[in-house]
Structure 1
Amino acid sequence: MALDQQSRYILDMIAAAGRPPLHTCTPQQARQSFDFRKLAGPPDDIARVENMAIPGPAGNLRVRVYTPDGEGPFPALVYCHGGGWVVGDLDTVDVPCRRLASRAACVVASVDYRLAPEHPFPAAAEDAYAAFQWLVENAGARHIDATRIAVGGDSAGGNLAAVVALMARDRVAPQPCFQVLLYPVTDGALDTASYRENADGYLLTRDSMVWFWNHYVSDADRMHPYASPLRAEHHRGLPPAFVVTAEFDPLRDEGEAYAHRLAAAGTPVECKRYDGTIHGFCWMPGVLDKGRQALDDTAAALRVAFQSDNRYR
């Protein structure tokens, strides 16, 4: 399928801005120029938003908690933003998190995990895991049902969400009831057909992914399953999943490969490819129809997953 007109508009707008390629920037420069908030559109109304500090592996960890209307106990989603483990923050995904909280009728806890290269692997993964376990342990005080807590994220955040599920299984700890993986990073090999087909010209480039990986993890740890979850020894005993991919995205094939790997291990999975669009489209629901559709499809999948007799069980 051809690139859709809305995605082409975004790419043309970025090209016209004349910013240097990401892989030529320092992390600090990249963070200053990394801002898609103007493309996110108006936020959904939400009953309450709280900025909190919770205990993390290396001190306090910032979390932004979105609570919908109602009395609870609510189901919940622990969400990790994208940005290649190097850029991005709570504001990057504020509008998507509000939309998911509102439309899935769940609490969303957005995690401000430590960024690389200042905090390399496995800092981000351990922060995400700690945030999930903290929410389980404190569910009652937050009017949350501890048996209905999912984990999710986009891109590098999707990587962290998948890794949280692996860590919880491996450590025999409370598991997420569901995982939402939006165009996730799952493998450090960078050798799929989608990496060749979409290496350049579609927002996320192969060079950018090399840059991200090199800042996040050493060569020795690159294929560690908590960095490359596709490389886990096995994928049995993991929670059901909703996996989103984009046609014109270097990460498309590894996201779909992870969905196939989960399914082969007996995990219920729904994998949906959004044709004609690009990496990061869920950050831009204000200008991309498919971004809005994907977030609403994710909210619908969460609603089903949070039901006791749902099709994912």
Structure 2
Amino acid sequence: MAPLSKSFEAGAARGMLGLPAALLRLMAGKPIVRDGHALDVQCQLLLKIMRLRGAKLGGSDVATERRQMRAQSSTLAPRAHNPLAVHEWVVAGDNGALAARCYRPESADGAAIVFYHGGGFVLGDLDSHDGICRALADRAQATLIAIDYRRAPEHAAPAAARDAIAAFRDIAARADDLGIDAHRIAVAGDSAGGNLAAVVAQQTRHDIAAPAAQLLLYPAVDFAEDKPSKTRLGSGFLLEKSSMDWFEGHYLPANCNKRDPLVSPLHGELGGVAPAIVITAGFDPLRDEGEAYGAALQTAGVNTIRRCETGLIHGFANFAGGVERARQALDHAADALRTRFDAIN
């Protein structure tokens, strides 16, 4: 898509979602309610537009899906309010160097976030999540380092997890040279990236420079057991059962142990992991496993903030530039992370 077309599409989408509430409701249709919660009207209209355009996650060939995610990612992406210095970096992976991108606000004070993008372990890259990274770095006033880990199907599980762990350890080991505080580094991610952040928090909890916090946005944490929300919300809300099956089929090798903590962190050892912020969405098929992970962290004695954004859908951070409740949710998450950083000072 040409830059002008992308700019026009983004402006049109933001303008439509910014219409008065009465017009939004008229265009979106009758309110949708599940489990006692009403779908946010902007999300409902967005889903309607996506259905009309035939947009969905997964199902086509991998190369096409990757191009589509990259092309569509900027349409409603959140924006930073303040200047950021952005640099391309290289960090160590489990089997060679990985590309990374560093976002540093002028107000950065040594706190840092190692961020892992979503995309079902198959899609997504540094560009698809550029907006989220800019917004999160800006709002949390912390240096953010996004990691371009290896993706499936070229590299099946647990390659992504091993890359995520190696990248965190490399950054922590070089913290002084990178201008960050090794004892104030959080891990964060959305969806599949939330899975990886949770894995890193578990696997590095005994490191000298272990994560200071973990921010998990609507994380996928359990391939072993399907929770009720996968059925109740598995159709009509962007991430569908067919999408999840497509991602899993590409990510997990044959005869994979789905309870391996490198794959399903819900089945890992949670005692002693970093304080957590677990954000789920009320209309997300992954809602119940995210809620279960937050509850398991609390049972293990981990300081955990649990928040369900009841009216939102999976992937809402990608829409925080046009959906007001998504913007508020991302702000809340960043504020909670900043509070954690400040408590370490």
Fold equivalence (TM over 0.5): yes
Q: Is the 8 A contact 1:52 1:64 kept in 2?
A: yes
Match of 1:155 in 2: 191
Task: Select which of 195, 202, 209 maps to 2:237.
Answer: 202
Question: In the alignment, does 2:314 pair up with 1:279?
Answer: yes
Task: For 1:193 and 1:87, locate their aligned partners in 2 and report how far apart those are by CA, in whole Å.
Answer: 25
- Find the aligned partners of 1:79 and 1:24 in 2 and give their Cα distance: 26
Q: How does 1:100-139 map to 2 (within 5 A)?
A: 100-139=136-175
Q: Contact 1:56–1:131 at 8 Å: present in 2 too?
A: yes
TM-score (norm 1): 0.93
- Choose which of 76, 83, 97 in structure 2 pairs with 1:46: 83
Q: Hey, what does 2:45 align to over in structure 1?
A: 9
Query: 5+ unaligned residues in a row in structure 2: which ranges?
Result: 1-36
For 1:181 and 1:157, the matched residues in 2 are separated by 8
The answer to which of 111-120 and 47-56 deviates more is 47-56
Tell me how far 1:172 sits from its aligned partner: 4.4
Q: Distance in 1 between matches of 2:174 and 2:227?
A: 41
Q: Provide the residue aligned with 2:301 in structure 1.
A: 266
Q: Report the more deviating stretch, 42-51 or 148-157.
A: 42-51
Higher CA-based Rg: 2
| Superposed displacement of residue 99, structure 1 | 1.4
Q: CA deviation at 1:308?
A: 3.3
Q: Is the alpha carbon distance of 1:115 and 1:173 closer, same or farther for their aligned partners in structure 2, counting shifts above 3 Å?
A: farther
Structure 1 stretches of 4+ moved >4 Å: none
Partner of 2:248: 213
- The partner residue of 1:32 within 55, 67, 78 is 67
Show structure 1 runs of 5+ residues with no match: none
Provide the TM-score with structure 2 as the length reference.
0.85
Question: Does the CA contact (< 8 Å) of 2:79 and 2:132 recur in 1?
Answer: no
- CA distance in 1: counterparts of 2:311 and 2:130, whole angstroms: 25
Q: Does 1:55 align with 2:59?
A: no
Root mean square deviation of aligned Cα: 1.6
Which deviates more from structure 2 when the two are superposed, residues 50-59 or residues 291-300? Answer: 50-59
How many residues align? The count is 306
Equivalent position to 1:223, from 243, 256, 259: 259
Q: Which residue identity does 2:300 align to in structure 1? A: A
Equivalent in the alignment of 1:84: 120
